[in-house]
Amino acid sequence: MAKIDIDGDNKADFSLSIANIIMIVTMIVSIVGSYYSLNNKINLMEIEIEKAKEMPPQNISEKEIDLKWQMLQKEIDDIKQNFRRK
């Protein structure tokens, strides 16, 4: 058990056991790993966005939009009916 004296009065202000030190190191490693993982995902997304900007725009016909709208309306109606049954 490590006793740490901060203010210099020769009395231990707090103490750390091996289990506490291992837990603190594990938390720090976990946080650093999460940071680098998220940072890498952000960088990959930025690359994909830049590639998408270079692609030609896609033309969507009015008929396709209408069909998607009808499909969404049908799904909403189905959900409403299922909700009313319960």
Mean pLDDT over 62-86 rounds to 91
For the chain, the average pLDDT equals: 89
The pLDDT value recorded for residue 39 is 97
Going from N- to C-terminal start, the domains of the chain cover: 2-85
pTM: 0.51
Question: In whole angstroms, how far apart are CA 38 and each of 26, 41, 43, 46?
Answer: 18, 5, 9, 12
Yes or no: say if 35 and 49 are a contact pair by the CB < 8 Å rule.
no
For the segment 23-53, what is each residue's pLDDT rounded down to a tens digit? 999 999 999 999 999 999 999 999 999 999 9
Task: Give the pairing of strands 14-16 and 2-4.
Answer: antiparallel
- Could you tell me the pLDDT band of residue 16, with boundaries at 50, 70 and 90? confident
